[in-house]
Each structure stands twice: as structure tokens, then as C-alpha cells.
Chain A
């Protein structure tokens, strides 16, 4: 079982992702803003963070960099509705593990999460 944090201001989407991942056996928390997500991250230290690239309160890329500075072994998967190659390149340069475009298939999302978990060093 892995700990997963979903940072997404679309409440219905965040909750649906959380339900799907919980059903797949993971412990999932959701946050609607970068600040809330950061607080949960400090408390829970998740294995994977799923986050929107555009967040209220902070630019998603800046939040990603902040997470990576805090802990390099947290895998971050970016979700975006923009779907531009430029955003994808920026996210991956900033250390994102993967990049998914909205609307997304929850199966594809779960596969990305499993790949991310497989990529993490064994503890």
C-alpha cells in the first residue's frame, strides 16, 4: 500500500481519483490548494503526489520544485488541462515523473502511479 496525495482544485475530480486509488489499495489524501497540499505532505510524507499544474495560491511548477527540494524520492505526476508540449517539457525538467492530460482515464492514471511506485528506491 502506498501513500498518495492528490492536489487538485476540481473537487469532484480529486475525490474520484482518490476513490479509484483507494479501491486499488492505496491510502489517498486530497487537497484543493498548494498550501493545503504542502501541510498534508509534511504530515504524511506521501510516496506519490498527483497534482494539477495550475493551482490556486501557487504555480504548479513552483510547487513541484518545492517538493523536490524537500524530498527527491517523492514521485510527482503532473495533471494538466493545457496539454502543451512546452508545459510537459517544463514539468519534466523540474523533476516530474510523468505528465497526464485532462480529461484522463483513471486506468492510465493508476498505471502511471504504479510505474512511479516501481521507480522509487526500496526502503
Chain B
């Protein structure tokens, strides 16, 4: 499945999950609101019933006032209170929420109607009489008050029960909400975990693998290929990178071919130059002898020396034209340095130089022992040659960030600034017998080891040649390098 589709799916799941959470929250809030409303209503009805009860007793008090004090307004007040109580009871009855509540209210209303009828009958009897007062109070207390109290208590019980039910419902809603919050939190963690695992599995891991492959390719290993195990965008990207590496390999091969052709052109020009110079000497010497009609022995000797020099130069050139084949094995460069110093001991002793080995324990490097020994020997020879008698020559080894460093340091005549860049170029030499390929070739062979060779020099103060090698990698040691055609 493509990563884009997976991301869409994850987005859809997130939206669905959010909708579920929203629905659950709405449901809980609605339940809580209904329960709270029920509780509030039950309490309110209870208060209204209490007021009705108060009004009933006040109504009875009005009758008592009529009998005892002859209150002229008592009758009218009685009617007002009756109207209020009747309306309140009717209202409560209309708003009843259960059959039991309705039955209790109906019973209370009927009792009240009986009370009203009874009291109205008292009023109808005309003038208030004190002898009736006692009878009225007793009848009210015996007949109505117990019934009214009992029925109101029953109703209060109904309302209290409703209130308790509402409280229970609120408690249930609260508990359910806590459980749901817990479940949602847990599910969110699980979902987040799956999302992270998915990102790790589908994006981060393959991206890291691509990064590692790109890093390997950037070191020049264009044969490296990324295994294609996926059919998504990253699989396509890996395929593109592989194709890019293949294209780069082709371009690199073309460049190498072009460089070879260019180098070949330089080589032909260089050979022509180095042959024409002695030929020019020979021709001019012969011509001048001819002009003078003499056969000067000194000139003859010089002509022979020139021919011999040309021959030596051709021999050197042929030696360097052999193809270079590198056999990589794990090497301890300190050992090579020590061997080279021992081998050059006669030259060192001849100039009474002070050789100094500043060696530290080195990790092994993948290298061709024979070539590296030759290069170290040649660099040490250069240092010896450039040094004044008795001077210091240092062979140093070091490790810096896993890289192995070897330095050959002399305090000799140094290289003039304007020649510093040229000495590593092919065909540059300051030696009469030199063919100018030694340092450039050494540099190329060190580079074939994955390393670098740099020169730091100051005229009159000495030269430091620094060789840097990469650390030994898995699989090194059985590599084979071929610099086909010729050296350099």
C-alpha cells in the first residue's frame, strides 16, 4: 500500500475516533443534564408542596381568626388562599411525572376539597360563634390534619425518591464518564503507539536505510545498490537512487575514459619533449663538430652521456608503465615505517641525520604492503635528500577520528611556494633523471586506498608529507585494486 494511502487511512481513523469521542461526550453531557434537571425538579416540587401545606394551615388559621376575632376580611382571604392552593395543586397534578405522584396528588386534592367544603359549610352557617370554634378546631384536627399530613408526607416521599433517583443517575453518569475518559485515554495511547510504530516502520526505518545507502554511495562506492523490498513511494525513491547510481557509474566510467585519453595525450607530449631535448643536444653537438671539422673528445663523451641518460630515462618510464595491481590486506603501518627506516639506515648514517620515530599504537588499515612500503621509502628518501647533514627527520603516526595518519617530516630545504602545487602533478620533476611520476603516482595509489596525500612545505624550513588512511572496514582485506594500463 502506498504511504499516501496509509496516511489518508490514519487521518480517517483519527477523524472517526474524534467523532466517537464527541458522540460519547455529547451522550454523557445529555444524561448528566437530564439527571440534574430531574433532581432540581424534584427539589422544586418538594418546595412547592411545602408552600401548599403552609397555605392550607394559613387557610385554617383564617377560619380560626373569623371565629375568635370576627375578622371581616377572613372570608375573602380564605377564598384567595383557596384559589392559590387549588391552582398550585392543579399545577402539580398537571406536571406529575409518575402515576404514584398523580394518585397521591389526587388524594391530597380530594382531601383538600373536603376541607374546603367543610370550612365553607362553617362559613355558610353565618355568624361566628365562639361555641362553634372549639368544635371546628377539634373536627379539623381529627378529620383533616392527620390525613393532610399523611398525604403530604407520602408526596414528599415521592419527591424525595425522585431526587434520590436523579442523584443516583448523576453518580452513574459521572462514573460512566470516568470509565469512558479512561478508555478513551487508553485507546488514544494505543492509537498513538500504533501511529508511531507505523511511522517508524513505514517512514523512519526505510529513510534511515536510504540515508545509509546514500552515504555509502557518496564515498564513491557506486556499485552499492539499495535492496527494493517495498512497493510504495520510498521503494520508488530507492529505485530512483539506484538508477542514479547506475547513471553516475556510467558517467564515471566515461570520465575515467576521457581522463585516460587526456592523460595519454599528456603522456605522448611529455615523452616527445623528453626525447627531443637530448636529441636536440646530440644533433647540435654533432653539427657544431661538423662545422668546426673537429671531433672534440669531450663533446663525444658528453654525447654518449646524453644517450645513456636518455636510455635510463626510457627504462624508468617503462618501469612506471607497468600496470598497477593492489592486493589489500590488513596492515600495521607502524611496522612498515620501522622497516623503511631500517632499510634507509645507510643513507641516514651517510648524512648523520637524526631519525626520530614518533609512533602511537595504530588500528590496522587495508593496504597493499609492497606499494605502501615503496611509497614510504620514496618519501623518506626525498626527506633524506632534502635534509642538511645532521638534521632531524621525523616519521610520525597518529589516529584522528578513526583515521590513521602517517607523517614524514623533514627540516630540509623545502619546496618553493610556486612549485608546491606542481610537485603532485604528473610529469613534474626537479631531478635530472626523474620522470616526474613518483609523487603523483604515490598520491594516486594512496587515493586508491581510500586515503589522501598532502604536502605542506616552506622554502628553507622543511616539508611535511601527510598520508591519511580510512580505518579498516568489514570486508576489507580481500579487496583487489587494478589501475589498468599504466601507473599514474
Contact = CB atoms under 8 A, between A and B. Distances in A.
B273 interface: yes
A104 to B, nearest CB: 6
Contact of B287 (A11, A84, A101, A105): A105
Contact of A56 (B269, B283, B430): B430
A24 B205 CA distance: 86
Given A11-B302, A13-B277, A103 B284 contact: yes
Nearest to A57: B416
A15 B299 CA distance: 9
Contact of B284 (A54, A82, A106): A106
Interface string A48-73: 00000010100000000000000000
A16 interface: yes
Contacts of A56: 430
Contacts of A84: 269
Of listed A20, A23, A103, A106, residue having the most chain B CB within 10 A: A103
A25 interface: no
Contact of A19 (B276, B279, B292, B306): B292
Contacts of B280: 10, 13, 79, 81, 102-104
Interface string A11-52: 111011101100100000000000000000000000000000
A12 B303 contact: yes
Interface string B285-320: 101100110000001001100100000000000000
Contact of B277 (A17, A19, A102, A106): A102
Contacts of A11: 281, 302
A16 B302 CA distance: 11
Given A16-B285, A19-B288, A103 B276 contact: yes
A82 B302 contact: no
Nearest to A16: B284
Interface in A97-118: 101-106
A16 B290 CA distance: 11
A83 B277 CA distance: 12
Contacts of A16: 281, 284-285, 287-288, 299
Interface string B261-279: 0000000010011101111
Contact of A12 (B276, B302, B430): B302
Nearest to B298: A15
Contacts of A104: 280, 283-284
Contacts of A20: 284, 287-288, 291
A25 to B, nearest CB: 13
B431 to A, nearest CB: 10
Contact of A81 (B277, B287, B291): B277
Chain A contact-residue range equals 20 to 34
B287 A23 contact: no
Given A19-B288, A106-B291, A82 B281 contact: no
A11 B278 CA distance: 10
A82 B276 CA distance: 8
Nearest to A80: B273
Contacts of B287: 16, 20, 105-106
B272 to A, nearest CB: 7
Contacts of A12: 281-282, 284-285, 299, 302-303, 306
Which of A82, A83, A102 neighbours the largest number of chain B CB atoms within 10 Å of its CB? A102
B276 A102 contact: yes
A81 B279 CA distance: 10
Nearest to A18: B288
Nearest to A82: B273
B240 to A, nearest CB: 43
Name which of B277, B278, B303 has the most chain A CB atoms within 10 A of its CB: B277
Contacts of A101: 276
A70 B285 CA distance: 32
> Which one of A12, A19, A102 has the highest number of Cβ atoms from chain B below 10 Å of its Cβ?
A12
B413 to A, nearest CB: 13
Contacts of B288: 16, 19-20, 23, 106
Interface in B110-160: none
A11 to B, nearest CB: 7
A22 to B, nearest CB: 10
Contacts of B302: 11-12, 15
Contacts of B299: 12, 16
14 contacts: A10-B278, A10-B281, A12-B302, A12-B303, A13-B285, A17-B284, A56-B430, A79-B280, A81-B280, A102-B276, A102-B279, A102-B280, A104-B284, A105-B283
Interface of A: 10-13, 15-17, 19-20, 23, 54, 56, 79, 81-84, 101-106
Given A12-B303, A103-B284, A104-B280, 5 more contacts: A13-B284, A23-B291, A84-B269, A102-B276, A103-B280
Give 4 nearest A-B pairs by CB, closest first: A102-B280, A81-B276, A16-B284, A103-B280
